[in-house]
Amino acid sequence: MSLPSLKHGTDRARSSARSCKLSDRSLPKSSSLVDPGASHRANDTPSFTPMTYYTIAELNQMSQDTFTEVLGAVYEHTPSIATQAWTQRPFQDVHHLHQSMVAIVQQMSPDETLDLIRAHPDLGSKTKMAEASVQEQSGVGLDRLTPEEFDRFQSLNQAYKNKFSFPFIVAVKNHTKASILEAFDRRLKNAVDAEKNQALDEINQIAYFRLMNLVEERLR
């Protein structure tokens, strides 16, 4: 699929300048597997910058290190997914990119899948979490819970982890506080395997929202 050209010269100049800065940047190396300790080392993965936009053309032209730096936080503390997705360039659009990342998740081993799920923070938690999670949770008011709401979220988080041994995950952009609490109650009745599949569905939905925040709207 061919991409439309930018309409304004200033946009071209801004895009070019941004690409130059990325190419000159000192870049981190990323591991080829999910890091089981990643949830405890938030500073080890690239930070998520939702207000910086890239075109598909720019993403397709990036080196593997730059691509990983830009998209490494799309999946929580698991930059290896972006690293592997880079090998599947060129991408036609953001949906093609997302599906490529989903396919990588589907090919993970059971242990890697569990590490990915466990990399996510508790909802409504006051513990340190990735920038993207902070912004997503604040968008539905989970950073402004009343003492009663906070206690309820903590109780449900603990009950869920006691049963499933991994955190409750939901794409909060699809929800309100009330609907999240309803989902907690409903999903606590699920079997472990069903809930693992649901968690992965939610993780892939979260990744889609994060990609949509990164790829420039008019060039999708």
Q: What is the DSSP letter of 52?
A: -
Q: How far apart are CA 164 and CA 168, in angstroms?
A: 9
Of the residues 8, 95, 96, 120, which is catalytic? 120
Q: How far apart are CA 76 and CA 210, in angstroms?
A: 10
Q: What is the CA radius of gyration of the chain?
A: 18
**Is the CB of residue 18 less than 8 Å from the CB of residue 181?**
no
24 — phi, psi (to 5°)? Answer: -90, -10
Q: How far apart are CA 142 and CA 150, in angstroms?
A: 8
**Is the CB of residue 199 less than 8 Å from the CB of residue 142?**
no
Q: How far apart are CA 97 and CA 86, in angstroms?
A: 9
Q: How far apart are CA 126 and CA 138, in angstroms?
A: 12
Examine the residue annotation and report whether 175 is marked as an active-site residue of this protein: no
Q: How far apart are CA 112 and CA 173, in angstroms?
A: 25
- Beta bridge pairs of residue 54: 215
* Residues identified as active-site: 120
